[in-house]
Amino acid sequence: MIGICEGEEQLIFYAYAKTDVGLHIAINPAIAVPFAHDERRSSNAISIALFDTFANAGKTVPHPTDWSTWIPPARHVTGHKTESAFIKKYRCAECELQDGILTLWPMKNLGAKGGYQRILDRAVVVPVDSKELSQVILDVLDGSTYFQ
């Protein structure tokens, strides 16, 4: 599974892994894709980031020993020092890949204390080789919410 966040004129892609005690966490590296004015260039960059991120997903990683020093990958790449600062500016989606099919869920932004929650009834399914893949990702993000 991977996460995709949109805000501040960029997309952030990051993978999830399972710690050696079974907890799912987002892991580094996160990939930032700035919005380009050239649609084709932007589309290629989004596809590359998506597949590079999936290559990093599903690993087993050591469980963090000190949560006070752990920085979520999306915050790490954007430089936001707090979850509150990040969550006010980004909306997110989650994506799973199985048998050549991507399932994407827009996320409801519940703020720094609530995090993000999948909007289950708005899942979108698309073949991984779709020529419209980057547009589908952007459409799913459009269905996600910013914190209000």
Residue carrying the six token digits 């597949």? 51
Q: Say if 25 falls within a structural domain.
A: yes
And the tokens for 7? 């805000």
CB contact set of 126 (below 8 Å; sequence gap of 6+): 101, 102, 104, 132, 133, 136
Q: Which amino acid is at 76?
A: H
Q: Say if 15 falls within a structural domain.
A: yes
pLDDT band for 123, please (50, 70, 90 cuts).
very high
Q: Say if 49 falls within a structural domain.
A: yes
For the chain, how many helices (H) and strands (E)? 5, 8
Q: 29 with 15: CB under 8 angstroms?
A: no
Q: Which amino acid is at 36?
A: A
- Condensed to tens digits (0 to 9), the pLDDT of residues 36-95 reads 777 767 889 999 999 999 999 999 999 999 988 888 999 989 999 998 999 999 999 999
- 18, pLDDT greater than 90: yes
CA count, 13 A, side-chain hemisphere, 78: 27
Q: Say if 61 falls within a structural domain.
A: yes
Q: 83 with 110: CB under 8 angstroms?
A: no
- Report the percent of the chain where pLDDT is more than 70: 99
Q: Say if 27 falls within a structural domain.
A: yes
Q: Say if 148 falls within a structural domain.
A: no
What is the domain extent for residue 52? 2-142
Q: Say if 73 falls within a structural domain.
A: yes
pTM above 0.85, yes or no: yes
- Condensed to tens digits (0 to 9), the pLDDT of residues 28-38 reads 999 999 987 77
- What are the DSSP E strand ranges found in 20-145? 24-34, 60-61, 91-98, 101-109, 116-118, 124-127
CB contact set of 123 (below 8 Å; sequence gap of 6+): 103, 104, 105
pLDDT band for 129, please (50, 70, 90 cuts).
very high
- At residue 36, the pLDDT reads 74
- At residue 27, the pLDDT reads 94
- 105, pLDDT greater than 90: yes
Q: Say if 74 falls within a structural domain.
A: yes
Task: Please tell me the total count of domains within the chain.
Answer: 1
DSSP 62: P
CATH number at residue 106: 3.40.1590.10
